[in-house]
Structure 1
C-alpha cells in the first residue's frame, strides 16, 4: 500500500511575493482605520484604553509601510496608466510616514493632524482605484470613517445639548479663561449634570472661536475632581475669600501650556480674561482604582500636576467618607518657578485641612529654577520663613529649592509601606518617569522583594502630550 505525498512548492517569482505583500497591505486598512477612530465600535468596548489603541494604530501603520515594498517590483512599469493611482497612494503614504515621526509630530502637532487627514484620504482613494480586485478591503474604511464622524456628532449634541436648544441652561457651558503666567492658561467651566469623570482622565475641548476649524478638538487632562461632597464640607477646608479652590471640586478645570498654534491663540484670549464657547467630548482615559492601597505616592513635574492633583483629592475624600483604607499619601511636585505654585497651592492646602486624622498627608514641593527673590510671590496661609533650604508652609507641606531626590523618597516610602501595598503614580518629563522606573526596579520592587517582606508596589505612568 503506497501513500502519495503532496509537496507544497513556494513560487520563486518575485511577482508572487510582490502581489502577496500588496494583498496583505490592502487587507489591513480596515483594521488600521478602526484603531485610529476615536468613536469606533472597538473604542466603545475599550474606551478606557483609547490611548493604547492609538499606539497599536501607529505600530500597524509602521508595519504597513514596510509592506509597501511590494511597489518596488513595479518601478519598471512606472509609465503604465493603471499604476498611476498606486504610485499616488504610495507617495502619499511615504510622506505621511515622514510626518508621523515623533520629532516632527511633537514639534508641529497641528501640522501633522491636518496633513495626516489629507494624506490618509489620498492613500485610501489611490489604493481603491489602484486595485479594483481588492476594493472590498478599501471601501469599508470610508464607511468606518463616516460612522466615526456621525457618532462623534451625536456625542457632541448629547454632552452639549444646551447649546443646541435641547433642555434648559443654554450658555451654561461657557468657559472662563485666565492667564496665570505668560505660559499657562487656566480654563474653568461648570460641570454639566450628566458629565462625570475619574481622576487622571482627559477630555477634548472644542472651541470654535479659537480653533482653526469649527469642530477641532484638543485633549487636556481634567485638573479638577468630580466630588460628591456638599459645598459646606468643601468650604470647611477652603478660605472663604477664595473661590479658586472650590472650583477644583465642583467644576471642570484645565491647565494648558501656551506654545504655538491653538494654545498660543488661547493665550491671547486669556490675556483679555475672555469667555469662550466650549464643547466637551469625553471623558477618555483609563480609570485607576486606588481603593486597595495602604499608601499612595504621587509624583508630578510642571503641568503633570493635572494628573496627580485629582488623585490626591480623591484619596482624601475617599478616606474621609470611608470608601478608602489608605493611611498615607505623599505628594511630590516639581516646578521651575515658585510663581507656578499659585496654580493650585490653595487647593493643596485645602486638601491637607480636609484630610481626616487617620490619613497622613505629606506635600513636597520643589523649585528647580527659581531665584530666592521669587519666594515672596507664593501665596499661602502661612508666610514662608526662609528663601533657602526648606520652608514649612503648613503641617505636612514643605517647599525646597533644587531637584528632588526621587530615589531616596521612593526607597523611604517603600520601607514605610513594608508589608503592605503601595501605588506610585507619576506624570512628568521622560527623565522623571525614567528615574521612578529605575528606582522601582528589581532591587526595590522586584519579585524577590515581596518574599523579603517589602511592599507590593503598583506603578502608574502618565506621559506628557498626545503626539
Structure 2
C-alpha cells in the first residue's frame, strides 16, 4: 500500500533507528546551512574589500565584472546543432547522465547516504517525518531573524538591521508553516489509509502537534500587514506570547524536536536578558502638542551619557520600569495600566541629534495602545482633564487653547535599532545629492538626517561639504511641524532650512501643507483664502505666512513627486541617496518615480524607513 509513488514501509527496530539517524542528519544540515552560507558570504565580502590584486585582475579595477571573463564564458556555451556540443537532445541526455552520476555519489563520508537518497526516498513515513523535522530545525534561525539586539549574529554578518531582516523572518515563517502543513496532511492521509485515525487523534503527541500547527497558523495570520497596521500592540502581544507557547507544545509533540526547541528558547532568553541589561532608564517629559494628536517625549541625557553616541533617526522602544515606580511620583499615571503593558511594543524614532542636543526627542501620533497611553498620561495634567476627554472622544485637537499638558516620568529605553545606525556622518560625503521625503510623522526620520548632514558637516572645522540635501515634508497643517526646533525655537537649535540653497534643489526644506478635513486637496495650488487659513490656523506657527519664514519654503497642496525626483537626478551624474518615511502610497509613488532613473543607469542608494516587530 502506498500513495503518490511512496510506499508504507513496515520497518523493524533497526530500520527505524537508521531512518531516525538519517532524518537527524537532514535536520542538522538544514539547521547549519543558512549560518554557514552567511558566514562564507561575509568572508568573501571582507576578502574582496581587502584584495588589491586578484579581484582587480579578474573583475577590473572598480570591482565590476570585466568583459574578458564574460566573453570567455559565452564562448564555452556557444554550441550549435551540429557542432562539438551536439544538438539539444544530446546535450539533455548528457546532462541527465551527469545528474544521475552526481546523485549516486555519497553526500560525504561517514554513512550519510547518497545524494539521491537525500533528494528522493520511497518510504512514505520518511518523507512525512522529514517535512516536520526540517521545519523544526529552522526554528532557531527563525527566532534569530526576529531578535532586535544589535549583537545578533545575523545582523553582524549581513549588516542589516532587525526591521530589514523582518521580511526574511516572515518568509521563513511561511515556509515553516507550509512544511508543517505537509507534515500534518501526509500523516492524516496515513492514519486514514491505515485505519488509525480514531486511535491516533486521542494520543497526546498528535493533540500537541495539531495545537502547534493551529498556533503557527494563528501567528502567521495575525502577522499579515492588514492586521499589523491596524493593531500593532495586539499583533505584538499575540506574536510574543504565542511563539513561547508554541515552543512548549512542540516540545510535547515529540522528543526529537526538543533540541531545536530548547535552542530557540535559549536564544530568546539570552537575547532578552542582553536587551534588558543594555536598556537605560531616563527621566522623560511627556507633552501634548497644541492643536494636534502628537505626543512629544523628551529624555534628558547627562554629559558623557552612552546614549549621546546613538545615531539620529534610529528608533527605540520604551516602557515604564515598574508599576510601583510609575505610581510613586503620580498615582494617576500609575493607574494607566496600558502604559506599562503596551509601551515596549511600539517603536519611536529618535528625532534629535543626541550628542548635539543633549536629549532623545521622540514624537508620535496618539492613536491606540502605547501612543494613546502616553497621550492620556500627559493629558491628565491638563485643566480638569480636558485633554484626556477630548482624546477619548477622538477629536482632532486634543489640547484646549492655551493649555499644554506635560508630565515628568521615568522611562526605560531599549535601542538603538534601525538602518540609520549604520549611517555615519562621513558616509554622506559619498553622495552628490540627498533627497529626503517625509509624510506626516515621517518627519521624525528625515529631520534629524537633514540636520546631521547640514549642521554637523557644516560645523566641522575646514569642512568642504559638497553634498546637497533637499527635504520635502508634507503635513496636514503647520502645527504638525511645530515640534521641530526652528531658528527661534525653545532650544536655540540651528535653523532648519537652507540659507545655502542654490536654487537647484540644494540645501533647503520644503514644507507642504496638504490641508485637513474637507480641505485636503491633491492639487499644487489652492484658493488664496484657503491658503491663508492653512497658514494662519495655528498661533504657534502662524508666522509661516511668509514663504521663507523659519528657513523653510512653505507651499500648499501635495508635493509633485515626479517633478521633485526629476530635479534631483537631471543634470547630475554623481551618486544620489533617496530616503523616505511616510504612508505606503507615498513610498510606492516615490519608488515608481525614482525607478525611471534607476533604469536609466542612475547611481542610487534607496532607503524606505519602516518599523518591524
Normalised to the residue count of structure 1, the TM-score between the two structures is: 0.80
After superposition, the C-alpha distances for 1:154-184 in whole angstroms (9 at most, x for unaligned) are: 112xx34xxxxxxxxxxxx211111114421
1:42 counterpart (140, 144, 153): 153
Tell me the residue number matched to 2:378: 270
Tell me the residue number matched to 1:66: 178
Q: Does 1:116 align with 2:224?
A: no
After superposition, the C-alpha distances for 1:323-350 in whole angstroms (9 at most, x for unaligned) are: 5623532121101123223222625986
Q: Distance in 2 between matches of 1:131 and 1:382?
A: 68
Secondary structure of the residue aligned to 1:299 is strand
Q: Does 1:414 align with 2:569?
A: yes
Q: Distance in 1 between matches of 2:236 and 2:253?
A: 26
Q: Distance in 1 between matches of 2:313 and 2:178?
A: 36
Change beyond 3 A, Cα 1:303–1:392: same
Deviation at 1:403, TM superposition (A): 0.7
The answer on whether the counterparts of 1:206 and 1:218 sit within 8 Å (CA) in structure 2 is no
Q: Distance in 1 between matches of 2:225 and 2:314?
A: 23
The answer on whether the counterparts of 1:319 and 1:356 sit within 8 Å (CA) in structure 2 is no
Tell me the residue number matched to 1:32: 142
Secondary structure of the residue aligned to 2:449 is helix
The answer on whether the counterparts of 1:366 and 1:399 sit within 8 Å (CA) in structure 2 is yes
The answer on whether the counterparts of 1:296 and 1:330 sit within 8 Å (CA) in structure 2 is yes
1:445 counterpart (598, 603, 611): 598
Secondary structure of the residue aligned to 1:316 is helix
Deviation at 1:225, TM superposition (A): 1.2
The answer on whether the counterparts of 2:314 and 2:417 sit within 8 Å (CA) in structure 1 is yes
1:283-294 equivalences under 5 Å are 283-286=416-419, 287-288=422-423, 289-294=427-432
Secondary structure of the residue aligned to 1:199 is coil
Change beyond 3 A, Cα 1:206–1:44: farther
1:400 counterpart (534, 555, 558): 555
Tell me the residue number matched to 1:190: 300
Secondary structure of the residue aligned to 1:252 is strand
Change beyond 3 A, Cα 1:347–1:279: farther
Q: Distance in 2 between matches of 1:86 and 1:439?
A: 48
The range that moved more, 322-331 or 310-319, is 322-331
The answer on whether the counterparts of 1:333 and 1:364 sit within 8 Å (CA) in structure 2 is yes
Change beyond 3 A, Cα 1:458–1:35: closer
Deviation at 1:299, TM superposition (A): 1.0
Deviation at 1:419, TM superposition (A): 3.0
Tell me the residue number matched to 2:465: 325
**Superposition RMSD in Å:** 2.9
Q: Does 1:376 align with 2:485?
A: no
Secondary structure of the residue aligned to 2:507 is strand
Deviation at 1:253, TM superposition (A): 0.5
Change beyond 3 A, Cα 1:138–1:354: closer
Max Rg structure:
2
After superposition, the C-alpha distances for 1:52-107 in whole angstroms (9 at most, x for unaligned) are: 22322221111100011211233333223332221221222222222222212221
Q: Distance in 2 between matches of 1:43 and 1:114?
A: 24
The range that moved more, 103-112 or 343-352, is 343-352
Which runs of 5 or more structure 2 residues have no equivalent in the other structure?
1-100, 105-113, 189-196, 327-335, 382-405, 520-529
Change beyond 3 A, Cα 1:276–1:138: same
Q: Distance in 1 between matches of 2:124 and 2:152?
A: 38
Higher strand share: 1
The answer on whether the counterparts of 1:342 and 1:379 sit within 8 Å (CA) in structure 2 is no
Tell me the residue number matched to 2:607: 460
Change beyond 3 A, Cα 1:348–1:62: farther
Which runs of 5 or more structure 1 residues have no equivalent in the other structure?
161-172, 229-248, 386-390, 451-455
Deviation at 1:357, TM superposition (A): 4.9
The range that moved more, 176-185 or 364-373, is 364-373
The answer on whether the counterparts of 2:439 and 2:474 sit within 8 Å (CA) in structure 1 is yes
Deviation at 1:110, TM superposition (A): 1.5
Change beyond 3 A, Cα 1:406–1:354: closer
Secondary structure of the residue aligned to 2:428 is coil
**How many residues are paired up?**
415
Q: Does 1:89 align with 2:238?
A: no
Change beyond 3 A, Cα 1:426–1:216: closer
Deviation at 1:11, TM superposition (A): 3.5
Point out which structure has higher relative CO (alpha carbons under 8 A, 6+ apart): 1
Tell me the residue number matched to 1:388: none
1:205 counterpart (304, 318, 330): 318
Deviation at 1:353, TM superposition (A): 7.2
Higher helix share: 2
Q: Distance in 2 between matches of 1:460 and 1:147?
A: 31
Change beyond 3 A, Cα 1:216–1:420: closer
Deviation at 1:466, TM superposition (A): 3.2
Q: Distance in 1 between matches of 2:449 and 2:264?
A: 39
The answer on whether the counterparts of 1:48 and 1:284 sit within 8 Å (CA) in structure 2 is no
Deviation at 1:117, TM superposition (A): 2.2
The answer on whether the counterparts of 1:316 and 1:351 sit within 8 Å (CA) in structure 2 is no
After superposition, the C-alpha distances for 1:241-270 in whole angstroms (9 at most, x for unaligned) are: xxxxxxxx3321011111112211111112
The answer on whether the counterparts of 2:177 and 2:213 sit within 8 Å (CA) in structure 1 is no
Tell me the residue number matched to 1:130: 253
Tell me the residue number matched to 1:179: 288
Q: Distance in 2 between matches of 1:323 and 1:280?
A: 34
1:361-372 equivalences under 5 Å are 361-370=507-516, 372=530
Tell me the residue number matched to 1:152: 275
The answer on whether the counterparts of 2:496 and 2:509 sit within 8 Å (CA) in structure 1 is no
Tell me the residue number matched to 1:55: 167
